[in-house]
């Protein structure tokens, strides 16, 4: 293992080695804000169902939640590709491309 790679592993900055992401604090804050909003939307849908709200209105709200979740996924995927995937390719770990394809197929099923 190279000295540089060992330093990265020890610092906990490598996506693959420690299986952690390294998002900026701004990105993390953005993601948490979005997820908190989605959490509130889900509670709202639960309330709509409990109050026997018209089905079409509930479905519209669920569609908005799905769209918001897709937005979170896009942010995560972009960061993953720009950081983790690039890093692993530079380290010669080309199997990360297959992993990325599986991830993208999973996202596209939705």
User: Model-level pTM?
Assistant: 0.76
Helices (H), 12-94: 25-50, 55-79, 86-90
pLDDT of residue 61: 98
- For the stretch 31-81, pLDDT in tens is 999 999 999 999 999 999 999 999 999 999 999 999 999 999 999 999 999
| CB 58, CB 48: distance < 8 Å | yes
For the chain, domains (ranges, CATH) are 23-108 (1.20.58.1000)
Q: Which one has a higher pLDDT value, 75 or 12?
A: 75
């Amino acid at each position: 293992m190279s000295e540089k790679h060992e330093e990265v592993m020890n610092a906990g900055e490598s996506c693959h080695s420690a299986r952690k992401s390294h998002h900026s604090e701004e990105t993390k804050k953005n993601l948490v804000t979005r997820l908190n909003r989605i959490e509130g939307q889900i509670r709202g849908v639960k309330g709509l169902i409990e109050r026997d709200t018209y089905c079409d209105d509930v479905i519209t709200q669920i569609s908005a939640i799905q769209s918001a979740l897709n937005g979170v996924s896009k942010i995560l995927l972009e960061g993953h590709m720009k950081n983790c995937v690039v890093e692993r390719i530079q380290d010669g770990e080309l199997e990360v491309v297959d992993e990325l394809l599986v991830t993208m197929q999973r996202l596209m099923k939705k």
